[in-house]
């Protein structure tokens, strides 16, 4: 996929599942469940044991049928090895300009973490494609996104933290370009219990919430 195709897909899908599991196999199986539930995007965090192998396996399994990203990318070196493993977008928990530079050098989508207005603008000016507002739930949730969108209507924001089935729609209505969801979707307890079917069902529920919120935004409902 080209960078523009990845960007368009992420916005169209509207949700980035954050896959943070205790094993590589669990990460791959969780992504299969998410995919079967209809979500064609996933982010594997670098905290997953064997994360690079998980990226390679998912890239081999799905190819361009899924938009695959690497999360918790702390430095440009990690971004580069994830790129080689098949990641098409990169998410960082904090703002590191050299990681943004690395992604731009290879025309890859970068979503750096930021929280304050200064960090959000700095990330955007450095070339971020989206700005991950993290931890959003701890500082006001959708209200905080709405407040940031006042002075920064041009910045595409993806809130992370505090996003669940109840709040996902509110984040979109507040102006978020998409939302990122971790344990509320890829639930560690469900994985322990081998209930990947319930993760699949939850993926469908999130897509329904997003579709409903977008319809309301457009005045269809």
User: Is 3 noted as a catalytic residue in this protein?
Assistant: no
Is the Cα dihedral 103, 109, 113, 119 positive or negative?
A: positive
**Distance between CA atoms of 117 and 95, rounded to whole angstroms?**
12
* Catalytic residue, candidates 43, 96, 108, 200: 43
**Distance between CA atoms of 51 and 217, rounded to whole angstroms?**
37
Compute and round to an integer the Cα radius of gyration of the chain. 16
User: Under 8 Å CB-to-CB from 152, ≥6 apart: which residues?
Assistant: 117, 120, 121, 124
**Distance between CA atoms of 187 and 166, rounded to whole angstroms?**
16
**Distance between CA atoms of 175 and 36, rounded to whole angstroms?**
28
User: Is 65 noted as a catalytic residue in this protein?
Assistant: no
* Catalytic residue, candidates 32, 96, 132, 200: 132
Positions marked active-site:
43, 132
């Amino acid at each position: 996929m080209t960078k523009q195709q990845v960007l368009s897909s992420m916005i169209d899908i509207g949700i980035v599942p954050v896959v943070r599991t205790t094993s590589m196999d669990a990460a791959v199986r969780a992504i299969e469940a998410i995919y079967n539930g209809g979500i064609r995007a996933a982010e594997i965090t670098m905290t997953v044991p064997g994360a690079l192998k998980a990226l390679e396996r998912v890239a081999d399994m799905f190819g361009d049928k899924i938009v695959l990203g690497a999360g918790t990318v702390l430095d440009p070196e990690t971004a580069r090895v994830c790129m080689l493993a098949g990641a098409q977008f990169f998410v960082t928990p904090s703002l590191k300009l050299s990681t943004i530079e690395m992604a731009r050098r290879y025309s890859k989508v970068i979503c750096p973490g930021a929280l304050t207005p200064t960090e959000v603008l700095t990330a955007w000016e450095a070339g971020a494609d989206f700005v991950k507002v993290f931890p959003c739930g701890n500082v006001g949730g959708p209200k905080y996104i709405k407040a940031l969108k006042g002075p920064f209507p041009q910045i595409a924001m993806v809130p992370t933290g505090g996003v669940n089935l109840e709040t996902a729609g509110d984040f979109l209505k507040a102006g978020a370009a998409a939302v990122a969801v971790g344990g509320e979707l890829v639930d560690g307890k469900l994985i322990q219990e081998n209930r990947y079917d319930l993760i699949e069902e939850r993926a469908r529920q999130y897509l329904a919430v997003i579709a409903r919120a977008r319809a309301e935004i457009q005045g269809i409902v």
